[in-house]
Amino acid sequence: MKVAVFSTKKYDQKSFELINQNYQLDLSFFEFRLTEQTARIAQGFDAVCAFVNDDLSQPVLAQLAKAGVRLIAMRCAGFDKVDLNAAKALNIQVVRVPAYSPEAIAEHTIGLMLSLNRRIHRAYQRTRDANFSLEGLTGFNFNGKTVGVIGTGRIGIATMRILKGLGMNILAYDPFENPAAIELGATYTSLDDIYRHAHVITLHCPMTDDNYHMLNAQAFEKMQDGVMIINTSRGGLLNSKDAIEALKSSRIGSLGIDVYENEQDLFFQDKSNDVIKDDVFRRLSSCHNVLFTGHQAFLTDEALGNIADTSLRSIQHFAKGEESGNELITNS
């Protein structure tokens, strides 16, 4: 199998080359994203390995099918950028990595919570300038506070384990209740109930048409003043423009973001010498109580190894005419 791996960084190539010693696939790495303009590079490849911000809309898939690509291997859990109906019509199978390291995402989530609450990012900047004033750095105890966890899959459960260790009261929302959440002491409830009672809200759900911009002006109005919101899931779950207004009114007390709705033109690149043209991003990132990371919650050695292994194993299964269990398109 000849595989074109798009949107690769040095850490991707290192982990894939190491794990590929077990699979011996023919891998070619490309740093640029998969788009309508770059899809022609896939000519002669059997499979494409894509990442979270690659474009897999119908026009791109049509080009890939014409080029001979029969498999799309998403090296991530999310697949909202993939037109599955178009892929099925073009006879292209799509696989993903359903769970590479829930703990990696969970630990990053907690890191954002702790940093925002105790203003660690601000304290770091101050002390580098020999400013040791504690004014404006007061936080609160997580112990005894209520946290709302939206999405109780593997990542949500891994996050709950840590939240329980912090002594927090856990409210949960998911269309499908997970017994593991109940065992951890979580109480399933409605979104409105979470909005009304949670001091902290953290998102761990996939992106769908139904939950696009679920955290919007109407949702913020139901929350208590000073709520902390963490999003390490999908950028489109949060209406960024509405969040700016909620920050201005202090309805949102702090906001931790590892994902951003328009991140494809920003994240995974060095933009330090560029003028950022995204005004919404600029306004958000200028707030002292907003902490951005560049979609790095997954970035641990363990997660990278699991991503590479699952992706390459799925490709190998496909080459043998077998199912890996990670397929997104069924024959029914």
Q: How far apart are CA 59 and CA 116, in angstroms?
A: 41
107: annotated active-site residue: no
With CA atoms as reference, report the closest residue to 46 among 30, 31, 28, 19. Answer: 28
Task: For residue 20, give the DSSP letter.
Answer: G
Q: Token digits for 29?
A: 């790495």
Given 119, 204, 251, 295, which residue is catalytic?
295
Per the listing, tokens 């963490």 go with 230
Residue 215's beta-bridge partner residues? 238
**Distance, C-alpha 199 to centroid of its chain:** 22
Given 75, 154, 204, 263, which residue is catalytic?
263
Measured CA to CA in angstroms, residue 239 lies from 22, 204, 236, 290 at distances of: 43, 16, 7, 14
Q: Token digits for 207?
A: 């992106």
Identity of residue 173: Y
Q: How far apart are CA 269 and CA 321, in angstroms?
A: 37
With CA atoms as reference, report the closest residue to 328 among 56, 20, 41. Answer: 56
**Strands across the sheet with 290-292, in order?**
187-188, 169-173, 146-150, 200-203, 227-231, 252-257, 290-292
Sign, CA dihedral 244-246-247-249, equals positive
Give residues with Cβ within 8 angstroms of 107, minimum separation 6.
Answer: 162
Task: For residue 327, give the DSSP letter.
Answer: B
295: annotated active-site residue: yes
213: annotated active-site residue: no
Given 33, 234, 251, 313, which residue is catalytic?
234
Q: How far apart are CA 296 and CA 108, in angstroms?
A: 8
- The catalytic site residues sit at 234, 263, 295
